A and B are shown apart, each in its own frame.
Chain A
Amino acid sequence: MPELAEATLLRIFVAENDRMHGHLLYHALVEKARDMKMAGATVLPAPVGFGQSRMVRCELNVDAGPHLPVVIEIVDTEDNIARFLLAIDGMIDSGLVTLEKVRAVFYRRAAQPSAVEATPLP
């Protein structure tokens, strides 16, 4: 049985085309997480959803505009998540942020120290 550690799951619900300084918000959040050396981040697109505006956004509803929902998930220690939340304060104009306690196993492949430097940001 692998060892499970206490961790926190952060989920950020925003619109796919939300922007910050001309960059896609979800992309900016992932890059911020990467800069802060968070354990990881995953973006999950959603085909349908609605938020505060009550407007149902879906691929087929052209009237609602291109505002499909997207969820960014980050799992890390409680402290790291707190640091990240402070760092992104002000980045999210409209959206939802939730926190959950989870138990986690981080599987880490043998160190590849050059991997980070070798991949320039797009």
Chain B
Amino acid sequence: MEVLHDAVLLRIFTSVADRWKMGPLYLGIVEKARERHLAGATVLRGPLGFGQSGKLHQGHLFPSTQDLPVVIEIVDSEDKINSFLPVLDEMMESGLVTIEKAQVLHYGRQRASLMSRLKQQLGIGTKPPLVH
């Protein structure tokens, strides 16, 4: 992915217990995102939450029956995220998907020029160019 100033943050709220095909849904989503060359995906696990059913999702004595909330975050260009939404639509049975605008400052080893624009705006760290 090119470093974009204007990107979109996609967040998927689901449960560790939700399944897709043979495995957990959150893993399925991460794999699908990778297959489609999205910029990246992060899974965050929560100890407590509830959703549409009103049932509290919380830890259990037996790890095999865990039904904890899980959030998958993906940042990419609006086009890429939009093309991922129908794929997600096929996979989601219950849960929440949100989208918000995000500005990317750093991706991998690349730094978007927004950083230098910000520094200029604040008038800091503007080193004079090296003279050879």
A→B interface (CB under 8 Å)? 1-2, 4, 7, 9, 26-27, 30, 33-34, 37, 39-45, 73, 75, 100-109, 112, 115-116, 118-119, 121-122
Contact = CB atoms under 8 A, between A and B. Distances in A.
B49 interface: yes
Contacts of A75: 13, 96, 98
A119 B97 contact: no
Interface size on B, as a range, is 20 to 34
Given A103-B100, A105-B96, A41 B50 contact: yes
A78 B3 CA distance: 32
A42 B56 contact: no
Contact of B47 (A43, A103, A116, A119): A43
Contacts of A100: 100
B53 A122 contact: no
A112 B93 CA distance: 14
Contact of A43 (B46, B85, B88, B100): B46
B50 A40 contact: yes
A103 B72 CA distance: 16
A105 B97 contact: yes
A103 B99 contact: yes
A116 B55 contact: yes
Contact of A9 (B47, B50, B54, B98): B98
* 8 closest residue pairs by CB, A with B: A109-B94, A116-B54, A42-B49, A40-B51, A43-B48, A102-B98, A115-B53, A105-B97
Contacts of A42: 13, 46, 49, 69, 71
A24 B12 CA distance: 26
Contact of B85 (A1, A73, A116): A1
A54 to B, nearest CB: 22
A26 B56 CA distance: 13
B49 A30 contact: yes
B99 A34 contact: no
16 contacts: A2-B85, A7-B98, A9-B98, A30-B56, A40-B51, A42-B69, A44-B46, A73-B71, A104-B96, A104-B99, A105-B85, A106-B52, A107-B94, A109-B53, A116-B55, A119-B56
